[in-house]
């Protein structure tokens, strides 16, 4: 028995040592997790919905926006706190958009080609462009909220990368038809949302022209116009 005692004692002490190390690690992980939880404070993971009046910035002669142009977007944003209070954050998300523009830009189909023109004296034309978007929104957020206060002031700066697809054109006279490879596939927009509680004003400007830059009118001019959004955006959990 005495012959095996040193080895047995060594094994026993080794087991106790590993148990202490394991306990220290467990307490350390728990303390780190609590510290991380305190530093993140809280998150505002939110769904959003915005409805907007669309203006069409342009420098075209005789071009008129003569109808109710509008847009609708909805999606989800994942909130990432940037400070311990949680009143500054970065948000990343995924969304969907639908946009409808009404103006006097006329498109005819001739032998599989699209012919663009702006009539000189027909200001009552209400031709409709519509298309869909898949969006990747990013927001830089400042707010007066706390972990328990859900009514607060906010100022959110935003950027949205949009993939635009399924464009259609509805002339004032005649049936509608698809616009194949006619609109800019990728759009970039910058905006700002300001408000209190659920009601927030929204302004956004798209920096790419809607139509592809190789498209020309019969006069040789390039029909460039840029959607501008003025509306309301709602955030809800």
Domain count of the fold of the chain: 2
Are 19 and 119 part of one and the same domain?
A: no
Q: How far is Cα 10 from Cα 15, in angstroms, rounded to an integer?
A: 9
Are 133 and 23 part of one and the same domain?
A: no
Q: Give me the pLDDT at residue 90, please.
A: 93
Contact 120, 111 (CB under 8 A): no
Are 215 and 113 part of one and the same domain?
A: yes
For residue 143, what is the domain's CATH number? 2.40.160.20
Q: What is the pLDDT along the chain (237 residues), one digit of tens a residue?
A: 444 444 444 444 445 555 555 556 555 545 544 444 444 556 776 899 999 999 998 878 788 888 889 999 999 999 988 888 888 999 999 999 999 999 988 888 887 789 998 887 666 678 999 999 999 999 999 998 777 777 789 999 999 999 999 999 998 888 889 999 999 999 999 999 999 988 899 999 999 999 998 898 888 888 888 999 999 999 987
Are 99 and 214 part of one and the same domain?
A: yes
Are 31 and 101 part of one and the same domain?
A: no
Are 15 and 69 part of one and the same domain?
A: no
Tell me which residue range forms the domain holding 225: 42-236
Are 36 and 46 part of one and the same domain?
A: no
* Residue partners of 51: CB distance under 8 A and separation at least 6: 70, 71, 72, 231, 232
Among candidate residues 203, 169, 166, 164, the one with its CA nearest the CA of residue 184: 164
Are 22 and 89 part of one and the same domain?
A: no
Are 35 and 47 part of one and the same domain?
A: no
DSSP 107-165: EEEETTEEEEE--SS-TT--EEEEEEEEEEEEEEEEE---SS----EEEEEEEEEEEEE
Are 57 and 168 part of one and the same domain?
A: yes
Are 29 and 91 part of one and the same domain?
A: no
Are 88 and 4 part of one and the same domain?
A: no
* Residue partners of 151: CB distance under 8 A and separation at least 6: 196, 197
């Amino acid at each position: 028995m005495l012959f095996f005692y040193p080895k047995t004692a060594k094994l026993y002490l080794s087991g106790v040592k590993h148990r202490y190390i394991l306990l220290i690690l467990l307490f350390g992980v728990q303390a780190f997790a609590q510290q991380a939880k305190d530093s993140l404070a809280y998150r505002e993971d939110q769904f959003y919905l915005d409805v907007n009046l669309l203006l069409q910035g342009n420098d075209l002669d005789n071009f008129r926006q003569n109808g109710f142009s509008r847009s609708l977007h909805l999606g989800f944003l994942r909130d990432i706190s940037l400070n311990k209070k949680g009143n500054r954050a970065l948000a990343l998300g995924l969304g969907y958009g639908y946009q409808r523009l009404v103006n006097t830009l006329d498109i005819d189909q001739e032998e599989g080609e699209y012919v663009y023109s702006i009539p000189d004296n027909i200001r009552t034309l209400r031709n409709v462009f519509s298309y869909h978007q898949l969006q990747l929104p990013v927001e830089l957020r400042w707010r007066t909220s706390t972990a328990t206060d859900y009514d607060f002031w906010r100022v959110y700066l935003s950027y949205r990368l949009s993939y635009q697809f399924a464009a259609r054109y509805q002339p004032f006279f005649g049936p509608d038809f698809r616009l194949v490879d006619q609109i800019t596939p990728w759009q970039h927009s910058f905006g700002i949302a300001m408000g209190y509680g659920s009601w927030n004003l929204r302004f956004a400007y798209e920096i790419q022209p809607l139509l592809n830059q190789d498209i020309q009118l019969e006069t040789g001019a390039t029909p460039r116009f840029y959607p501008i959004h003025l509306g309301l955006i709602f955030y809800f959990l």
